[in-house]
Structure 1
Amino acid sequence: MASSQQTTDSLTAVHPEQQYLDLMRHIWRHGSERVDRTGIGTRSVFGATLRFDLSGGAMPLLTTKRVYWKTATRELLWFLTGDTNIRALVLQGVGIWNEWPHAKYVRETGDEITLDDFVQRIADNEEFAARWGDLGPVYGKQWVDWPTYRYRKDGAYEPGPGINQVAEVVESLQSNPGSRRHIIEGWNVAELDRMALPPCHKTYQFHVADGKLNALLYQRSCDVALGLPFNLWSAALLARMLAQQVDLEPGELVWMGGDTHLYLNHVHLIEEQLEREPRGHPRLELLRRPETIFDYRIEDFQVSDYTPHGAIKAPVAV
């Protein structure tokens, strides 16, 4: 009788992905239509929350369209190196940051080079990449090398040692798990004007309870159709990596959005995705425990039970 009841419960349980689809539907139907920075226009709501159970290897990997989780993983691993130049990503076939430096190059030089040709030059020419491929002090720089300045006796300031926030969180989770200060922050006000794009997924906080590591991500701005699927995967992956490093079980991922929006030129993606039903329950296995959180490689991650619907292409707003 118990097994029969469990089977019934599993069939009637709401798929975790449904909350993402409900959010998308709510924004599209009820969001405030606004003119945004990109000039494309959005429908937007302010303040949204999603929650995902990460126990048993579960991951918030969307199935109603294919999410290229290896691309998102390579980006996260790149953040953890502190690198801010797209060349390392380009050489791995990751193009999610290409539009910003390309737009800057065209704007500043007047050379109407195509995006594909620009990216090829980044790959082929280290000197060109050093000049035009850097994004400024974006995520990785703030995560592992937050700048500090020391006061000198002559009244000037000089650069001090950078702060590795990720390493400090690992240490604090191990030495003081009950702390309320397990935080990684990307919003460095003094350097926002030097960034290709100020951090959208800006604040991560971690919480230990009952032998489990819970994670919270706050995004100031969220493109629900294109950005959020990557953000959910990356935040959950970071939580899984941290949990492994500090000998805790994965708990819950809480996602919170500030300006949570859909772009008006994504209508075909939105309508098609909302017609689809979630299928399967993707799981992630960490195949190796590296010495530190900075030593993971792409081959350390294995996803199972992922049979998504097809990808849906849509333009990125720059």
Structure 2
Amino acid sequence: MFGETLRFDLSEGFPAFTTKRVYWKTAFKEMLWMLKGKSKWGTGNPNIRDLLEQNVHIWSEWPHKKYVDETGDDITLKSFEERVLTDDEFASQWGDLGPVYGKQWRAWKTEDGREIDQVSEVLEQIKNNPTSRRIIFEGWNVGELDQMALPPCHKHYQFFVDPVKGTVSGSLVQRSADTFLGVAFNVCNLALITTLIAEHTGYMPGEIVWYGLDVHVYLNHLDQVREQLSREPKAFPKLVIKSKKKSLFDYTIDDLGLEGYDPHPAIKAPVAI
């Protein structure tokens, strides 16, 4: 389908889907990793080693496939990940994902060599120019797409301040939406970043609006989707910020929690690469 919308009022609960268990800690770790921007490994681009050190494996398939295709070494995914974790030089070369997500969000490179921290600019605009229609950060850098392990699926984030309600709302334009596996993570992470931005600019979280453009189900997910659709949704949980940090970019998973999350059981499905 083309052009679908989901809208959630964050005052009514945190939209972690309940018709299957969403591994929200993994989702949050991914968003916090993106907000860090550069990696300490290799070129400074985001690197899967930072995720693997947190037991997050959702980005490993793409660099693994690139390594196998380019070297002919038919190494297993598990062995590839272990080598990324233990071999600094290997991690620098093969764990590098290119200038994906956080690199664009925090260090968009200009023609004259400067780097623009788009997320910090969003915070400043909300604080100092809240009526702006340009409270945006963007991941679709046309000049660097060919360097990315995967072009951004969730590409355009825009925020809106309601001065009467005292809220910040967030929206996401997603060019490509893996409905069964990806969208639950994307909605969670949009709600998370909107809540954190509100927290760090003196507002309450308002709504989130998710725009899916190419919205699809992969053929190897059909049985799982049927199972999910047979289940009744439950009440949404509440996001808890256990420890507010000085900076938006300082959070770890230990600072966050979900209260009252009681979903139906998880449904396993393979990643479609």
Taking structure 1 as the reference length, the TM-score comes to: 0.82
Aligned CA RMSD, in angstroms, stands at 0.8
Q: CA deviation at 1:267?
A: 1.2
| Residue correspondence of structure 1 range 16-55 to structure 2 within 5 A | 45-55=1-11
**Correspondence for 2:84:** 122
1:310 and 1:117 mapped to 2: Cα distance?
29
2:66 and 2:212 mapped to 1: Cα distance?
28
Deviations 1:155-214 (A, max 9, x none): xxxxx2200000000001000011101001000000001101100000000000121001
| Identical counterparts, % of pairs | 56
- Contact 2:31 2:189 survives alignment (8 Å): yes
Matching of residue 194 in structure 1 with residue 147 in structure 2: yes
Matching of residue 85 in structure 1 with residue 26 in structure 2: no
Matching of residue 227 in structure 1 with residue 182 in structure 2: yes
Q: 1:246 aligns with which of 201, 205, 213?
A: 201
Rg: which structure is higher?
1
Q: CA deviation at 1:288?
A: 2.1
**Correspondence for 2:213:** 258
Amino acid at match of 2:27: A
1:301 and 1:203 mapped to 2: Cα distance?
24
**Correspondence for 2:74:** 112
Q: 2:65 aligns with which of 99, 103, 115?
A: 103
1:187 and 1:228 mapped to 2: Cα distance?
18
Q: Secondary structure at the match of 2:6?
A: strand
1:195 and 1:165 mapped to 2: Cα distance?
19
**Correspondence for 2:261:** 306
Q: Secondary structure at the match of 2:239?
A: strand
Taking structure 2 as the reference length, the TM-score comes to: 0.95
1:312 and 1:260 mapped to 2: Cα distance?
20
Deviations 1:235-254 (A, max 9, x none): 11000000000010010000
1:176 and 1:149 mapped to 2: Cα distance?
27
- Contact 2:17 2:236 survives alignment (8 Å): no
Q: CA deviation at 1:281?
A: 2.0
- Contact 2:137 2:157 survives alignment (8 Å): yes
Count of aligned positions: 264
Unaligned runs of 5+ in 1: 1-44, 151-159
1:117 and 1:148 mapped to 2: Cα distance?
38
1:212 and 1:129 mapped to 2: Cα distance?
42
1:302 and 1:189 mapped to 2: Cα distance?
36
Structure 1 stretches of 4+ moved >6 Å: none
1:177 and 1:241 mapped to 2: Cα distance?
16
Matching of residue 278 in structure 1 with residue 247 in structure 2: no
